[in-house]
Amino acid sequence: MDFTNIVLWLSAGLILLRWAAERALSELNRRHVLAHADAVPEAFRETIDEDTYRKSIQYTLARNRFGWFDDSYHTILLLLFLFSGLLPWGLQVFRTWFGDSVWNLAAYLFATGLALSLIGQPVEWYEQFRLEERFGFNTSTQKVWWMDRLKGFLLAVVLGYPLLVLILKLVQWTGDLWWLWAWATLLAFQFLMAVLAPVVIMPLFNKFTPLPEGSLRERLLGLAQRTRFQARNLQVMDGSKRSRHSNAFFTGFGRFRKIVLFDTLIQQLTEPELESVLAHEIGHFKKKHIHQLLAVSAISSFIGLYLIALLAHQDWFYQAFGFVPGSIVPALLLFGLLAGSITFWFSPISHWWSRRHEYEADAFATRTMTEAQPLIGALRKLNEKNLSNLTPHPIYSAFYYSHPSLLEREAALLNYSSPK
Distance CA 72, CA 307 (A): 28
Distances (CA, A) of 382 to 70, 270, 341: 26, 12, 32
Distance CA 178, CA 180 (A): 5
Helix (H) or strand (E) holding 258: strand 258-262
> What order of strands is seen across the sheet that includes strand 258-262?
208-210, 234-237, 258-262, 248-251
β 208-210/234-237 pair status: antiparallel
Scored b (16 or more CB within 10 A) or e, 164-189 reads bbbbbbbbeeeeeebbebbbebbeeb
Active site residues: 281, 362
- Contact by Cβ (8 Å): 338, 14: yes
Q: How far is CA 417 from the centre of its chain?
A: 31
Helices 373-385 and 347-369 cross at an angle (nearest 10°) of 130
